[in-house]
Chains A and B, each alone.
Chain A
């Protein structure tokens, strides 16, 4: 039983990471209707940037994260404006925008390695650690709650996820800006007609998503101890399956989906020996199952198409 609970706890830590990246995907999908395949590599680039800030300038990780988020937001907006907008829109081929995203996928990964480092680099942890021989940035401290040993990493990741959710909720539901964003997501043409600067909103959508991805990527690297060039590609697959499970247009779905996928993964690793080494079957199976049973996802809305 203890083992079972510890598997679940492991799952929650990972789930917070998947959910954050899934939230970033949902953000872009809601505002622009795009599934951003390059999301993972954008986050990877940001994560390496954060590592570079801490290692080259000796910046504290607590300062590096906000700096990275701001820089990533600018980068995300720039990408939308220069690379995505010319090839994406009503009446334009989805294939071209897909190719552009794949190009970004390859180029950003390579650029991160060129500019910063092509090695696995230690990422400082923004939570309490003990010094440890195996990990240059220290191992996460453990707290005992009700007889269960919980790593600070799990707690911090969960807190980060809650903070993200609250910020997004307030932004989207309680501010004028959020109202505009939602209006553009809902119906771009009508939003434009009532005087909303919809292209600025699209850029803002990408900026938010890039910032969120950067946050998630940095924390993921901290939790795993290091940032390496393959870090985000696998996380992206899990995040996609989380978003598919929850519904691509539903932020609540992204969070629930991330947790479900991560816990399912943790339990598979723990209990199903036949799948050891190919745990990736789990998110893939979840995606297929969801598509077969409920294509719009658990919390998504069904689209209606007019001819």
Chain B
């Protein structure tokens, strides 16, 4: 069996499972699945920024929160129908993304992580000060009926799942196309060698700020979807935005950075790990962040390229590419090695063996 056939087969199976899932599972599991989907969208946004463009952010919880509050407030106070609020959530988050993206032009790597960390710490305090919702300060709970199914043959939880899934599919296809387009190549070039990228005519500021805005928009949409699933936009817990930010990053890294499927796989693993271990140890809730932190470290040590990267290596081992493909791939590897930015095949898929998709190499030790 060739790789292409394997891919098609797996694709069909996954699609069928995703479509059948809401009928198979009960409402609580469907809610978990919906949650995994909106997590995946936010993680995909972060992956565009961090994986493909090399800008590390641990502040995406703030964009997520902005999206959530936009949706919730529009539905709750202005009586908008829910679906219409998502584009607005995306736009507002993207606007904030531009505002953060511009100063981010000055910094890279861990410095940028630091700036965005400030964003995550600050966001709940701002919400606490200015948002006065139906649930209390920094908590907006729109009416449950606002999210009713528009289709008669779907229960509400199934409808929510389907709506999340549709949005996610659109956004993932968009990301996939983007990663293979001129702009996507430019993003990767900027990640791998910024100076070289600019000498071949890539407008650094435009690419970086644009990616930031797009990535923030993804997180904003995810936030909007979260209101439908969780029935609330919540910033009462000052660490929530920070925890979300970390979890998005974790989903990306567990799944595999700079891969298209990575964020989805990572989000699924993360959400189910969390929902299934939360009540596991009674009376010792504090153990769960300890295990979570330790698991994070363990993943980085065991699977440095994430689950998707690990699977790729496995298929490379089990199904070696044929001679023709091999030559192609070798060529691509060489190109990649040279890091000739923006050239034909310097980028990601189909990934050459031995050159796992990975986050940017450390550029310099200051």
Contact = CB atoms under 8 A, between A and B. Distances in A.
Interface in A282-307: 283-284, 287-288, 291-292, 295, 303, 305, 307
A303 B295 CA distance: 35
Interface size band for A: 35 or more
A87 interface: yes
Contacts of B125: 277-278, 280
Given A91-B362, A102-B249, A106-B289, A278 B126 contact: yes
B110 A34 contact: yes
Contacts of A295: 106-107
A92 B109 CA distance: 13
Interface string A89-105: 11111111011101111
Main secondary structure of the interface of B (DSSP, over half): helix
Contacts of B364: 303, 305
B290 A37 contact: no
Interface in A46-101: 83, 86-87, 89-96, 98-100
B114 A35 contact: yes
B365 A33 contact: yes
Choose among B113, B122, B289 the residue with the greatest number of A CB atoms under 10 Å from its CB.
Answer: B289
A100 B289 contact: no
Most chain B Cβ neighbours within 10 Å, of A103, A108, A233, A234: A103
Given A86-B301, A288-B115, A188 B293 contact: no
B296 A114 contact: no
Contact of B103 (A37, A113, A237, A288): A288
Interface residues of B, number: 55
B129 interface: yes
B300 A291 contact: no
Nearest to A86: B301
B244 to A, nearest CB: 13
B304 A303 contact: no
A201 to B, nearest CB: 14
Interface of A: 33-35, 37, 83, 86-87, 89-96, 98-100, 102-111, 113-114, 118, 188, 233-234, 237, 240-241, 244, 248-249, 277-278, 280-281, 283-284, 287-288, 291-292, 295, 303, 305, 307
Given A92-B362, A111-B290, 14 more contacts: A34-B110, A99-B296, A103-B300, A104-B297, A106-B289, A107-B297, A118-B286, A233-B239, A244-B111, A278-B129, A291-B103, A291-B107, A292-B106, A307-B196
4 A-B pairs with least C-beta separation: A107-B293, A106-B293, A103-B296, A110-B290
Interface of B: 50, 56, 58, 103, 106-107, 109-111, 113-115, 117-119, 121-122, 125-126, 128-129, 193, 195-196, 239, 246, 249-250, 253, 257, 284, 286-290, 292-297, 299-301, 304, 358-366
16 contacts: A33-B365, A37-B114, A37-B117, A90-B362, A93-B257, A96-B359, A103-B295, A105-B293, A106-B293, A107-B297, A114-B290, A234-B121, A237-B117, A284-B118, A287-B114, A307-B196
